[in-house]
Structure 1
Amino acid sequence: MIFDSLDVSYGEMWGPHRGTTHPEPMSRAVAARRHAAGKDYAVLLSARQRPLALVESWPRRMWRVYLFDDRSWRMQMIDLKPHSTGMLWAHRNTRWQFSGERGHSSGKWEIQETTTVSADGQVEVRTESAGTRGASTDPLHAQTSGPPSVPVRQFAAPVESFLCPVPEFGDWQVFAPFLAQQGHEPATTVVLSEAPVDEGSGPLRATGIEQLFSPGECDTLDGPAVVEPVDAGLLRITSGRLAVSDPGCLGGTLRTVAVPPGEFPVTLSLLRTTRGAGVAAARVTFLDVPPREWEMALRPDEDLGLLGEGQFYGVGVDTGTAAFMDATRTVLEDQLDDDLFIPLDSGFTVELPGTEPEPNLIAFRAGRGDGAYPVWIGRTDDGQVGCVVVDFQLRSADGGQ
């Protein structure tokens, strides 16, 4: 196919998604802000309503290009990184052959050819069949090492033939020459046409958070439910920093909020349905005053301007458990099972005490298990922190599902 124009759209990185349009589209403005901040996003280049290339921008100025054939099958993956010349260097190029539609849809290739290029133009081509490897187009499986029986060709080539300019945002014609590798020939001039995407209302907003803790009946997709606020004890803060975290994953930068020292009540919102009960939200209250406004709890490296429609930064949960604690509180991993995870099998919350005046920790089951959940700061009229809430999203912000 010869093309003289490309339709451009933006979205989140696709990962294992095998569709032909963005599963999570993004406005140009958000993508541009991510580009400037060195954050990841994806660009889809299409022609005549068919995808030709998916370009992923990775941190540290790395790029990945997926190429599609005339059937809109993803057939090739090119990894690029900065070269000493100041250009991008296609250091790895992986092609796949499939036996048919079923093999492609499941990611099971018959032949995989991987070309790796060194910075000075030394080329190695490695060809594998499904019988020599686990046959998957997952990037984690697209490796360059293999058993000795895999055929390998080695030769030298001008490294210039593997270089391309580093694109400024919007300069996607840079990647047009790659499309010829799947039979899509660019015309002398290629015009870009960007699909408009409304930014909408932007990142997730906190509306109706108070309803999460209002006792009584409500409706969910699972049918009628009952909200039951439960006292989970007093949280002792000594450092003036509240941390919200998975107690089993305390490494890295914690999500913290500046709060006064002292002891403050923790309340769980239990949502009881015919299918059982779960923790819909957890709150620690610092002032007995209704919040005037809510804001998302952010880490120093997080920027709301980089979020798309309905997105949020939140606390990551990998053990099905979250906790409120003082930011200085430590946890011994070898005590977690006996002191925390096993007790939570038969309850919704557990306290890991600290010898007074040391801080304690109050943990609770995350309503949906592992995942990421928004943390909201409720501020009073004069800007003080009245409460902090982690919402496990068993109900929507307006009180429904």
Structure 2
Amino acid sequence: MSGKKDGRKAPKAGLEATTPSGLRRVVITGTGTINALGHDVATTMEAFREGRCGISQLQFRDVERLSIQIGGQIHDWRAEDYFNRQQILLYDKFTQFTLLAAKQAVAQAGLNFQGALGLRSGVVLGTAGGGLNTWDENYRAVYEEGKNRVHPFVVPKLMNNAAASHVSMEYGLRGPAFTVATACASSNHAMGLAFQMIRSGAAQVMLTGGSEAMLCFGGVKAWEGLRVMSKDACRPFSANRNGMVQGEGAGVFVFEDYEHARARGAEILAEVVGFAMSSDAQDIVMPSAQGAERAITAAMRDARLNPDQFGYINAHGTGTAANDKTECAAVAHAFGHHADRVMMSSTKSMHGHLIGGTGAVELLACIMALRDGVIAPTIGYEEPDPECALDVVPNEAREAQVDAVLSNAFAFGGLNAVIALRRI
């Protein structure tokens, strides 16, 4: 964490280990990331504070054949700096990103999973595309280059659960381990399920978050077909927005039973207090304000907090007209007369849309708001939109103390997932 570096500290005395319903409390004790803004949490949060844009010209094979040539790409990624040759043969880029973020999170949490803790710990991660770079490379080899053989590890490299499996093996996590694939809500669904597992007592520690590495020729070409992509910038909530911009990277967190964290003197970064999910059951690509509102309202109810207790929302905020207007309507209805007092920003304007990994990277902005009192901005905002008449924290970060926050994720397929955090 950047900002308040005072080493590990025990949480405030007198806090109960369970909720009024008898469920376990869940806290975050470790964070890790790599994305277009930085290779770690401190650099990413610094970029949030500065309103820095990580979206740039894409660089990969045949990019000149694409009509969309910008994205939140990690340009300086060198897998050989982190993994040996044998590992690189086994790890698609989305797995590489995950393992780096997980290493940072576990190191910050100061956990060792040997012995009994490993049996009570697990991993649940989100991804939409999984090993898309591996798919892309091998389709080329077979169909373009005419090769009749592929590497024997292509399947275990490209499967969506590869990252979760390698994380479980790396740290000896022998509890629940699986992957969630719900398009742009994948990370939020994964983190929500991890939260529920610890809260119910099914696990003591969970590594959770998500990753995505879709920035290859096939990955961008597929998204081009939807005609929702911008050719120049991501401008959420701005009247002149013209589409979303893809990104890549990972975010991984250590979710831990509060009593366990307190007993070992861990530094607690935030408390996870609520989670809800809903389905629009309406359209495969068009979002529903009613479905999103139900998820937002249910997450606040699950957290046992009222709308006036939330100071910040990390919006899904893709920069498409359909998403932005729908989300603003959902927030306005869910918060009622408190809607004009809550701050809401989209960090996708800086790091791009990480699809299945996006909610994980965006949760960092929520932790920064709670811990450092800094609200990440929505950059690229140029013209007010009457249908998005909320406080979207335009262009510059803002200092403000908030006690509770929400993180929204609304996916194709009408799948909605909202997480609530609280300062501790």
TM tier relative to shorter chain: under 0.3
Bigger fraction of residues in strand: 1
Structure with higher RCO (Cα < 8 A, 6+ apart): 2
TM-score using structure 1 length = 0.23
TM-score using structure 2 length = 0.22
User: Larger Cα Rg: Structure 1 or Structure 2?
Assistant: 1
